[in-house]
Amino acid sequence: MTVFNYPKILGKFFTEILSVEHQNIEHYYFIQPADSQIFLFSVLIFKSIFVPLQSNFKNQIYIMELRNYETVFILTPVLSEQQTKDTVEKFKKILTDNNAEIVNEDAWGIRKLAYPIQNKQTGYYYIIEFKAEGTLVAKLELEYKRDEKVIRFLTTALDKHAVAYNERKQKGLIGKKPVEAKAE
């Protein structure tokens, strides 16, 4: 028997969870409170993401661990300040409506582009760091593509080193020169 890492998530649906490991496949037996039926749910464990292999019930449960992402989008520079704020709020609302946790956000402002995009030399840069399921990234990028105000975007998954770097940067430990003591 192994210890199941997600009792809080599945505790809403099932009263009891039993786990048996056999040949790198963990079999979970779920007992549903309503009719006390027992369901077999086999999963292959790969980096804390559970992928169903077989099940004897139709509604399969996918348990996804939240991952850290960072998205940068560039808005057209011809927008007014209010239009820019509204567009940023729209994308933040998409994240929060889909149960994402916004860790950090930063408005870089108007910056010169490396090359002209849509005959524009500058763009308004905005960056958001968030935690979410992987399925949210596709929804967010689809909204970026639909919005004419967005001229470029990039969303990347962050590994543990990038998350640690971002935390140090938020605390001000990166990007500033250390103050040296003056020799007397």
CA-CA distance, 23 to 43, in Å (whole number)? 11
CA-CA distance, 76 to 128, in Å (whole number)? 17
CA-CA distance, 136 to 141, in Å (whole number)? 9
What SS3 state is found at 120?
A: strand
Cα-Cα-Cα-Cα torsion 129, 132, 135, 138, nearest 10 degrees, comes to: -20
pLDDT-derived band of residue 7, with 50, 70 and 90 as boundaries?
very low
pLDDT digits (tens, 9 = 90+) for 156-182: 999 999 999 999 988 888 876 666 655
pLDDT digits (tens, 9 = 90+) for 101-160: 999 999 999 999 999 999 999 999 999 999 998 889 999 999 999 999 999 999 999 999
Burial class (CB in 10 A: 0-12, 13-18, 19+), 91: buried
Q: What are phi and psi of 82, to 5 degrees?
A: -70, -40
Check residue 174 and report its DSSP letter: S
Tokens (6 digits) for 94: 């998409």
Q: Is the pTM here over 0.75, yes or no? A: no
